[in-house]
Amino acid sequence: MTDQRLQAPAVQRNRDPILDVLGRVLPKDGTVLEIASGSGEHVIHFARALPDLTFQPSDMSLESLKSIAAWVASSGVPNILPPLHLDVTQDIWPVDAVQAVLCINMIHISPWAATAGLMRGTAKLLSAGGVLYLYGPYKRGQLHTAPSNAAFDADLRARDPAWGVRDLDDVAACAASAGFSVPDVLEMPANNLSVVFRRR
């Protein structure tokens, strides 16, 4: 039988720094929705370390959904729900209210409509104080924070002109229009940022 588990090399590098932040900003219990779960490796790591939370992975890719399900099945971690097919640009999401939302490395590899949809959809799910956590590379003041990010941005735009490293001010303005606070921003390894919004 073919192993459907995908592997993303970046996960091994960033999962512990991300977990360190999540341990401080996520609620103690409740349900956490992960948007664009990709291979599924992140959600396994987080759920194992935070057993009092229930994690709901999701993705819009069939290949990713199969990978997530395979990782969950092989991990034996009990506090992970079956993955959902979820397209953030759709008005109706297949999930009820949650206490927090995670979105790692999606905003730069999707059209801007996905960011707008993420903000609108998450705002509907979260009550006041609910956390939206973003992770990835961002420009600051319309400038790249490192030459490697500039090169990455150029590569992304060559693959799809609708993709690209976004400016944090633009993302924050989009979030504010959907009802989120000014974000807390934490510097992360490899010129990435953790961006933490709270529902107003």
The predicted-structure confidence for 164-190, as pLDDT tens digits, reads as follows 999 999 999 999 999 999 999 999 999
Letter string b/e over residues 185-199, b meaning 16 or more CB atoms within 10 A of that residue's CB: ebebeebbbbbbbbb
pLDDT per residue as tens digits for the range 11-23: 999 999 999 999 9
Structural domain of residue 125, as residue ranges?
9-134+172-198
CATH for 75: 3.40.50.150
Is 158 within a domain?
A: no
Is 77 within a domain?
A: yes
Cα first-last separation, the chain: 48
Beta-sheet pairing, 192-198 with 184-188: antiparallel
pLDDT per residue as tens digits for the range 49-91: 999 999 999 999 999 999 999 999 999 999 999 999 999 999 9
Tabulate helix, strand, coil % of the chain (nearest 5): 40, 20, 35
pLDDT per residue as tens digits for the range 29-49: 999 999 999 999 999 999 999
Amino acid at site 93: W
Total tally of structural domains belonging to the chain: 1
30: helix, coil or strand? Answer: strand
In this predicted structure, what is the pLDDT of residue 191?
A: 96
Is 108 within a domain?
A: yes
- Indicate the pTM of the whole model: 0.97
Is 187 within a domain?
A: yes
Quote the CA–CA distance of 118 and 107 in Å, as a whole number.
Answer: 9
In this predicted structure, what is the pLDDT of residue 1?
A: 61
Is 149 within a domain?
A: no
Identify the DSSP state of 152: H
Which residues are registered as beta bridge partners of 84?
Answer: 58
On whether the CB atoms of residues 169 and 141 are closer than 8 A, the answer is yes
Is 53 within a domain?
A: yes
Confidence class for position 2, pLDDT limits 50, 70, 90? confident
Quote the CA–CA distance of 36 and 4 in Å, as a whole number.
Answer: 17
Is 141 within a domain?
A: no
pLDDT per residue as tens digits for the range 103-162: 999 999 999 999 999 999 999 999 999 999 999 999 999 999 999 999 999 999 999 999
For tokens 């934490």, name the residue: 186
On whether the CB atoms of residues 178 and 119 are closer than 8 A, the answer is yes
Letter string b/e over residues 16-49, b meaning 16 or more CB atoms within 10 A of that residue's CB: ebbbebbeeebeeeebbbbbbbbbbbbbbbbbbe
Is 106 within a domain?
A: yes
